[in-house]
Every structure is written in C-alpha cells, then in structure tokens.
Amino acid sequence: MSKKKKKLLSVIIIFGLFITSWIFADTVSNSYQKDSVTQIYLDKFEEPIYSTLYYIVNYYYDKDNVDYDKIVDSAIEGMMKGLDDPFAWYLDSVETEESQIDIEAKYGGVGLTIRYDYEMDAVIIVSPMNGTPAQRAGIMPNDYILSVDGTPTSELGLNKSASLMRGEPGTEVTLEIYRDSWTEPKNITLIREIIETKTVKFDTINYKNKNLGYILLTNFAKTSSQEMSEALNNLSNQNIEGLIIDLRNNPGGLLQSAVDIISMFLKSGEVVSVKYFDGTKESIPTIPGNYYSFLQNIPIVLLVNEGSASASEILTGALKDNGIATVIGETTYGKAAVQNVFALSTGGEIWLPIAHYFTPSGSDIHLKGIKPDIEISNPEREVISMTEISEEEATEAFYTTTEKPVLNIEEDLQLKTALDFLTGGN
C-alpha cells in the first residue's frame, strides 16, 4: 500500500468503518477479453513471473511454509505500484471487506472502535458505540482485547481482529478482555447485531444570539444522502440563520451520494465534469427535486482541511464555484482521479483511475486542492501518548452510531472562525 494511500486511511478501524478516499463507480466483473494488445503484455509477463514461481517452488529452502496467497497479493500490489500513480490501489480480501462495510455503513458486529497498541502488542479499545452489544456488556475505553474466540490479537493484528469480530447477527463471539484495574483477564461473550453507523451528524449552535445549524459529513456512503435529507428536514424547522457543513477529514466515497447531496444545496447547474480514459467527456448536472428552498436565504460555510478529498472536493468545488458557500479552513487534499473497482478471483479488488474530474468552473484541482476563501489552521495538538485514549477521542467513537456531533468551539479555531463569519464577528 503506497504512502499516499496510507495517508488517506484512518489508523482507527471502526469495526467496518474503513475510511478511504475515492469516487466509486460500479464494480466491474473480473471477466475480460484477451485482445491482441492485452496478449502482447501477457506474453511479456508470463515468462518472468512463471520462472520466479518455479524457482520458489523448487529451490526456496523454506518452500513448505510459503503462503502463496500472500505472494499473489504482493504480486498484484506490485503491479499497481508500478503504475506510479498514488490512486492506483490493490485491496486484499480483508481490506475489500472493510471498504464494502464503509460503503454500506452497516454490518454485523459488536460495536467497537479499536486500534492497535504496538507497545502492548494487542488491540486497544477506543470506545464501544452507543446502543451496541459492546456497550451493554460494560466494555470501556482503554480496555485491551487479548484474543478473539481464542486466537490472540497479537497474531491476528488489527484488520483480522476486526474481521473476526464481525459476523452474522445473532451469532456469538468471545473476547478476552483485560482492564488495568483487574487482576486477570475476563472472557466476555457477545451476541452480534446489525451495527449502523451515521455518516451525517447535526445540531444547532446558539452563538452570539444567533441560531446556527451545524452538519458534520464524515464520508459519502450509500446512506449519506438519506441522512443528509433527515438533517436538513430537522434544521428547516429550527429557524436557523446560517449553516456550517463540516467536511474536514472527509476522504470521499460514492459519487452518486455526492451528486444527491450537492443537489440539496444547488438548485440547478453543473455539479462536476468528467473526462474519461478514451477522451469522452460527461457533464453531471444537479438532480431536480432535491433542492431545499429554505437554504437560499441563509449563508452557508464549508469547513475543509487537507484531509478533505475526492467527493468532498466535488461538493466543495460545486458550492464554491456557484457562489453558494464560503469555504473556510485549509487547502483540500487534491484528488480528481475517478477510480473504477475491478473484482479479482483473490477476493480482492484493484482500484484503477479511469477518468479525471473538473469543478464547474473548469478548474483542475488534481494534486493541488481547493484553496479556501478564508484560510485558517487549527494549532497542532501535542501528542502525549500513542496508546492512551483521550476523552475526546472516546466520546467521538461512542457517538459513531448516533446523529450527535462532538463540538469544542473554544479549542476548534476553524469552527470558531466559521461561527464568527456567520455572525459578523471578528
């Protein structure tokens, strides 16, 4: 996995919330035609690859312990790296499972946010999610998961531990939990349920005697447009005098979800234009009937940073270029690659850039990003410990399954700047 890709992947696994940055087209069947051009390259690859495999099978001193699935995964990943394109990826079967869960925004599991503690060589719990089996069982932040169904997490690692804890609703999974205040670990058996994460969180903020709306959009999943519609329906009854849409650290998601959501804020016009690998071009317009008319009379602010990528930048470009919103924060990531997903027999997928998109004004933001109208950075926080879970981090993880955002106006300079802008303050 490339450094660029790793930068866009969260270090936290939210039992199925494996956040990536993409514009997602339909997954294409792994069937293909061996045309004459393709055959030329197949002939070129065949001899060195088969020869290498032959030497491993026949001469490698540890040949009886070779993991050939891993060799296949590594070979495919190497091919994608050979393109020297930061947005050409290979996801193995475990990573593919994670990304699909992110798209669906629901899965069968126990409702935990976790990360890996390399000092303890075990999985540490950031927080259980509200209303889930893990919360009801009394599991707490900073607890350690030593094993899943008897297999040590030190052997499984983060992704495989997460995968093993997921499963069909109604089935059991046993976690070996250790807490600092305990004298010894305890086995806790949980019954898996459907866990639904929320990609849209909203609230109202009373600031300087003005009632303002706030919407946090974490990524663009299948459920996001419906969640955004519910948020706007709620806020339309709150007599808000301004609206903040927070896209910070939103790495993207489904293109269709982005178009649906943009059409709620932009009544008509172009959302984005796309130029494909074969030279054809497409202009994608807004969807009639999605627009919320109460928004035309209130100012809108978009909060962005360098973690705002892909579909987030499509939304930002569409509202900025059409004069709908003021953009505050930091220059966005700069990803205008349109990827298509090709399923492979390994259970993995290759994510291949097949097109390039442009904002409504024709701007090419690829590897450049979108510069905000008002540039402001949040001060970097000092990292005291890579293992201890902060209260803020645990609280955010706890509300993953709810519509409630976690706000800290005093310490969030970008949010405070947006609020001051909407209230005419300094």
Q: Which residues are catalytic?
A: 310, 321, 335
Name beta bridge partners: 151: 148
Residues, the chain? 426
**Strands (DSSP E) along 67-152, which ranges?**
89-91, 106-109, 112-117, 122-128, 144-148, 151-152
Residues 6+ apart with CB under 8 A from 279: none
Max Cα distance, the chain (Å): 77
d(CA 152, CA 146): 6
Sign for the pseudo-dihedral over CA of 350, 353, 355, 359:
positive
d(CA 248, CA 230): 21
Residue 315: partners with Cβ closer than 8 Å, 6 or more residues away: 245, 247, 258, 261, 262, 302
CA dihedral (329, 335, 340, 344) positive or negative: negative
- The residue behind tokens 């290979």 is 90
